[in-house]
Amino acid sequence: MDFELSMEQDILRNSVRDFAEKEIKPVAQELDEKEEFSLDTCRAMGELGLFGMIVDEAYGGQGMDYVSYIIAVEEIARIDGSHAATIAAGNSLGISPLYYYGTEEQKHKYLPKLCTGEGLWGFGLTEPNAGSDAGNAATTAVLDGDEWVLNGSKIFITNASAPNSLGVTVMAKSGTREDGRDELSCILVENGTPGFEAREMHGKLMWRASNTSELYFDDCRVPKDNLLGGRGKGFHQMLETLDGGRLSIGAMGLGGAQGAYDLALKYSREREQFGRPISQFQVNAFKLADMALEIEAARLLLYKACWQKDHHKAFGKLAAMAKLYCSEVMGRVANEAVQLHGGYGLMKEYDVERFYRDYKLLTIGEGTSEIQRLVIARLIGAI
């Protein structure tokens, strides 16, 4: 077994880390406070090649492997969860469905702009009454001649109302199957289409500089050719998309845990009480040791899941495990990092406070921790 990263992957990690330290870190706190999505840093991430990382160069992508993509998300998350969310959702939820299921015409129309960061694309799955039960979507798509007519709403959709958002993939009920269950299909809806409105959401606990939206469809008409990957294939497409998306959420948990740990280690070495650095007290040294241990274990699990995907092996179980474990590791690490900062860890001027807030979304988005345990239980044959 070879655990060595390639030279290209090492270079990628160093370049993304350097970018995050120099370009994102100086503005992250202010953007979080203002709940402001930064078009400038989004474009800068695009210029660095962080969008379309797994997409073939023929469509404007970088043609990289999944391990490389996850390393990039990890390094952005090490500095700021909001920017990592933009990258993770942009690649795994926005670009991937178009890349894997789109027609050649759809790919050439949308992917070049999405792969440069010039544009973003949303993933319309969650609804006010359909979260974990995503298949219970109430949004409808009725074929009327050569057009789909959409009615309904979506909520908590990333990258759908940013200044450079181009559109969204919408899962909707398009009919009834022979077994009486809902037929679910994915429809592409461009921003600016009459009857479609994307409203930016504010007042979030975490990812405050990430764009999050509510979507509304009121007799929204789009061409029949905007169907993605075949009628009735929507739920299957969404599930496969979520499998890949779990890896990027895992990377956000891993990177966030690393970032919180780095802050805690630095602070505990500098902070003195009773005449010596607090890192030297056994109770704190053991905290740091446990944090380092869990981060290392999380990284190995996540990278193995990505390796499985890169080698076209079954990776769904490992993806669910990695998403679950990395998310919860970040929670434990961020909690101890705040504890090591003491009262200062509760103040917004210290970045560790933001890491503590940002972790919570990871145990909810892309399938809650409870849903991940259900997925794993099914895949190991327990239920």
pLDDT tier at 2, thresholds 50, 70, 90: confident
- Residue-range domains of the chain with CATH: 7-120 (1.10.540.10), 121-232 (2.40.110.10), 236-379 (1.20.140.10)
3-class secondary-structure state, position 220: strand
pLDDT tier at 131, thresholds 50, 70, 90: confident
CB 172 within 8 Å of CB 139: yes
Tell me the average pLDDT across 322-336.
98
pLDDT tier at 134, thresholds 50, 70, 90: confident
Say which residues have a Cβ less than 8 Å from residue 290's Cβ, sequence separation at least 6.
336
Going by their DSSP bridges, the two strands 120-124 and 165-176 should be labelled as: parallel
Smallest CA-to-CA distance from 119 within 85, 144, 97, 94 is with 94
Task: Look at residue 1 and tell me whether its pLDDT is greater than 80.
Answer: no
- Please tell me the total number of residues recorded for the chain in this structure: 383
3-class secondary-structure state, position 148: strand
Show the tokens assigned to 92.
């795994």
pLDDT at 174: 96
Task: Look at residue 135 and tell me whether its pLDDT is greater than 90.
Answer: no
Provide the 10 A C-beta neighbour count for residue 90: 30
pLDDT tier at 359, thresholds 50, 70, 90: very high
CA distance 259 to 369: 22
pLDDT at 263: 98
What's the mean per-residue pLDDT of the chain? 97
Q: Identify the sign of the CA torsion 293, 91, 364, 156.
A: positive
pLDDT tier at 118, thresholds 50, 70, 90: very high
Say which residues have a Cβ less than 8 Å from residue 92's Cβ, sequence separation at least 6.
241, 244, 245, 247, 248
Query: Distance between the two ends of the chain, CA-based, in angstroms?
Result: 32
3-class secondary-structure state, position 57: helix
CA distance 373 to 265: 31
Quote the distance between the C-alpha of residue 266 and its chain's center. Answer: 28
pLDDT at 55: 98
pLDDT tens readout for residues 37-91: 999 999 999 999 999 999 999 999 999 999 999 999 999 999 999 999 999 999 9
pLDDT tens readout for residues 271-291: 999 999 999 999 999 999 999
Quote the distance between the C-alpha of residue 169 and its chain's center. Answer: 16
pLDDT tier at 356, thresholds 50, 70, 90: very high
Smallest CA-to-CA distance from 40 within 126, 145, 150, 163 is with 163
366: annotated active-site residue: yes
Provide the 10 A C-beta neighbour count for residue 370: 12
Tell me the average pLDDT across 112-128.
96
pLDDT tier at 178, thresholds 50, 70, 90: confident
pLDDT tens readout for residues 201-231: 999 999 999 999 999 999 999 999 999 999 9
pLDDT at 71: 98
pLDDT at 180: 85
**Which one is catalytic: 35, 127, 294, 366?**
366
